[in-house]
Structure 1
């Protein structure tokens, strides 16, 4: 079997344009479906330890659902992933006001951020790799951001059972940029995610205030519910009495990764689901990873024949720190004319052959 990519209609948008769904397949049978609407990953089919395919990505059935209250399921996030306090920042002596869409704050690029934009799509495939290239020009003033920003995103599915995502952007004015993907995962394919075992190589995280804006502190995870340096079930400490957990109704925090070398693609998190044996590794180049335990999902959300209940999915989003434009102690996220924004991330899938074993490749059982 060779890698391939196919397309199918994904439904109309409110302005009459039509969205398209692209399905990438690698030579092992792994499948990833992505729309040119918001670059949303709608499904990821990977094998369990018996080789049976299952969909581990939360998503919806058509474009219309993603234009509603989609909780950013599977979407490309921009211009700025995560929160900016009061939707304001000062840059080169000028103050900018962004769209307010999360209490008093700006979240994930605004109500009509990159997740609701129709991107130009270019599919391609070789024997080993299926690729979907998406392009979008964010005009000056969109959601309050300065400058025309030209963004290119490459989704690449190879024979290593990893979905690689490469981001590139240039701007004609200085502007904050912090791009990521917001896929929700459940490696069991059903139920809650509290039994998933999580590892995050981070000695510190960024505590937040009641509005989930970082205080500016890097707080040690040692001795706290935020210590995932060794594997721990997501639900093992999620109900501890901790003001930070109370603010997020669970985990909704950025972890400061123990990076070996700045700018390289390194492991940001590892998740193992013990019953299915599925393993997800999240790799990134940024200084942080946001861990969100699905605390605001509710039974009102339905898609693909499933109900997305409280904590039925988790997110791990490689990125820069939240509110960095207002916190000079955090690494800068300002892209200036003449410079290029580049970052990569990857979702790498494997299985444990048995409980407690190391992850290994697992062939897909093809149905007859």
Structure 2
């Protein structure tokens, strides 16, 4: 079990000075958090799961992401909140995939039929180590052993959080493997820009002409489909949720421009907006319909319930190991898989990029 520590150091450390002890991981290693800050933006990063626990804008009295100041909820219903999920984010159908002339048998940790986010011992439930830390940036590292979730390895993972001169949070994820394997890391924050614990006032715009329809198990059923004329057409701003609309837990296809940072989406409420750019070919958007943190309160002092936040997950497409027609998530020895995503929150009146 995770051992949590109650501390009064959070406020004193919110300007990026030193680490904050939160407790201990199951292996006995210390779980720590730290703040980075620049240009009116502050982010709190935790070693458990390489998690973005908190994100603040000067002049705004609430966090823009769902989370908790303490460790205990992250061992339970807040698993994956703000974490780096992997080694393969999203779902792999049938918990199996072909690789190198054989079929991998993977951990079926979702409903006994799919692998989700790398299994029950993936990167979101591991204690990363702090490799470097400063006032505006930090880097965390993790070694995943061979066989994690049934995947070949071992894997070396790195996550670098930094805040640039415009107040944007950049997340750089890197992975290397000792054997041919699959890797598709993703940041997994839930966003609620107005602190209300609902998505009622949120408007969403996505730079995607196509999305992936899914079956009952949320596995893509084929080739990308046009968003035009569907509930999934966010090419112009529209409410995240509308009465009677289908739930959102879908991949939006951003186009194929490997390594180039390009606009993906804009989320907004009156007074605040968030612009997301990424190098990834897909953006998984999940409306948080399954959120229920039970007795554990979040940043606003009350538990989170269904649709309390919106997950915006830049990544490769779901079930890619079984779909040679999708962008590949194969990682070979000697290669480095890199993903860069930039989250830029602003208050109303600040200039926005075109």
Instruction: Give the TM-score normalised by the residue count of structure 2.
Output: 0.90
Which of 178, 182, 185 pairs up with 1:176?
Answer: 182
Structure 2 residue corresponding to 1:42, chosen from 53, 75, 80:
53
Match of 2:12 in 1: none
1:336 to 332, 338, 353: 332
Structure 2 residue corresponding to 1:13, chosen from 16, 22, 25 = 25
Q: Residue deviations 1:273-326, cap 9 Å, x none?
A: 12xx11111111111100011110126253231221110100111110000000
Please point out which of 88, 91, 94 is paired with 1:86. 94
Distance 2:16 2:73 in 1: 27
Check 1:173–1:299 CA distance in 2 against 1; reply closer, same or farther (3 A cut): closer
Q: Which residue of 93, 116, 131 corresponds with 1:107?
A: 116
Structure 1 residue 339: deviation in Å? 1.5
Q: Structure 1: state its 5+ residue gaps.
A: 361-368
1:139 equivalenced with 2:145 (yes/no):
yes
Secondary structure of 2:241's counterpart equals helix
Seen in structure 2, the aligned counterparts of structure 1 residues 263 and 17 have a Cα distance that, compared at 3 Å, is: closer
Distance of 2:250 and 2:60 partners within structure 1: 33
- Structure 1 residue 258: deviation in Å? 4.2
Q: What is the rounded CA distance, in whole Å, between the counterparts of 2:312 and 2:144 in structure 1? A: 25
Unaligned runs of 5+ in 2: 1-14
Partner SS state of residue 22, structure 1: strand
| In 1: Cα distance, 2:143 partner to 2:42 partner | 28
Counterpart-to-counterpart distance in 2, 1:169 and 1:271: 29
Deviation at 1:206, TM superposition (A): 0.4
- Aligned twin of 1:239: 244
| Counterparts of 1:5 and 1:293, CA distance in 2 | 35
Instruction: Tell me the equivalent position of 1:302.
Output: 297
Contact 1:24 1:130 in 2 (8 A): yes
Q: Deviations over 1:172-225 (max 9, x none)?
A: 111001011000110001231132110001111001010000112211110111
- Displacement of 1:263 in angstroms is 2.2
1:283 aligns with 2:277: yes
Aligned to 1:210: 216
Q: Displacement, 1:4?
A: 4.1
- Cα distance between partner residues in 1 of 2:316 and 2:176: 17
Structure 1 runs of 4+ aligned residues shifted over 3 Å read 357-360
How far apart are the structure 2 equivalents of 1:52 and 1:217?
Answer: 42
Judged with a 3 Å threshold, the aligned counterparts in structure 2 of structure 1 residues 67 and 144 are, in CA distance, closer, same or farther, namely: same
The CA deviation at 1:97 is 1.4
Contact 2:77-2:292 within 8 A present in 1 as well = no
**In the aligned structure 2, how far is the partner of 1:82 from the partner of 1:5?**
35
Contact 1:191 1:312 in 2 (8 A): yes
Distance 2:175 2:17 in 1: 25
Matches of 1:72 and 1:255, distance apart in 2: 21
Q: CA deviation at 1:5?
A: 4.6
